[in-house]
């Protein structure tokens, strides 16, 4: 009697179990990534158009005081006082009138001091003293480095 021996050629054929594992891993990847995607919500924006306003828009003028490196002072590009003057009477009188006019119109006075980078600090202090005499307290500083 001859025994029945099966010959094995080494090929396993198509295996379904590894394919199912790969599909589950891919499906798990997409499920995790779907949770990380941010959902875009509807934005509540209003397009510009004609709108009725009951309040008056208030626009305040900014007054600019320039201090040059030679000590010359100008208010809105108009020169005031001499570089040797320490009291600054013209500037002080103009600032007082500006403050009075703004108070009567119920508008704030906004002053920006633009000083040259090489201007003396004492000149800036003299301008601040003139502003203090006019009772103007809304002051900002800027340095012109050109």
Contacts of 105 (CB under 8 A, 6+ apart): none
What is the rounded average pLDDT of the residues 39-62?
65
Q: Give the global pTM.
A: 0.57
Q: What is the mean pLDDT of the chain?
A: 80
3-class SS at 120? coil
Cβ count within 10 A of residue 59: 6
Burial state string for 15-54 with b = 16 or more CB within 10 A and e = fewer than 16: eeeeeeeeeeeeeeeeeeeeeeeeeeeeeeeeeeeeeeee
Q: What is the pLDDT of residues 89-143, one digit of tens each?
A: 888 888 889 888 888 888 888 888 888 888 888 888 888 888 888 888 888 888 8
Which CATH number is correct for 62-144, 1.10.3470, 2.40.160, 3.40.50, 3.30.420? 3.30.420
Q: What is the pLDDT of residues 31-47, one digit of tens each?
A: 888 877 666 666 666 66
């Amino acid at each position: 009697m001859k025994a029945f021996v099966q010959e094995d050629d080494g090929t396993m054929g198509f295996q379904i179990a590894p394919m199912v594992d790969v599909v589950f891993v891919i499906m798990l990847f997409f499920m995790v990534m779907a949770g990380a995607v941010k959902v875009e919500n509807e934005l509540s924006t209003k397009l510009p158009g004609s709108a009725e306003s009951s309040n008056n828009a208030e626009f305040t003028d900014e007054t600019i005081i320039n201090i040059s490196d030679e000590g010359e002072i100008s208010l809105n590009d108009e020169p005031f006082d001499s570089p040797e003057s320490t009291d600054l009477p013209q500037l002080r009188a103009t600032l007082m009138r500006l403050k009075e006019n703004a108070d009567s119109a119920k508008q704030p006075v906004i002053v920006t001091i633009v000083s040259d980078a090489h201007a003396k600090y004492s000149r800036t202090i003299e301008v601040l003293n003139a502003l203090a005499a006019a009772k103007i307290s809304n002051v900002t500083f800027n340095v012109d480095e050109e």
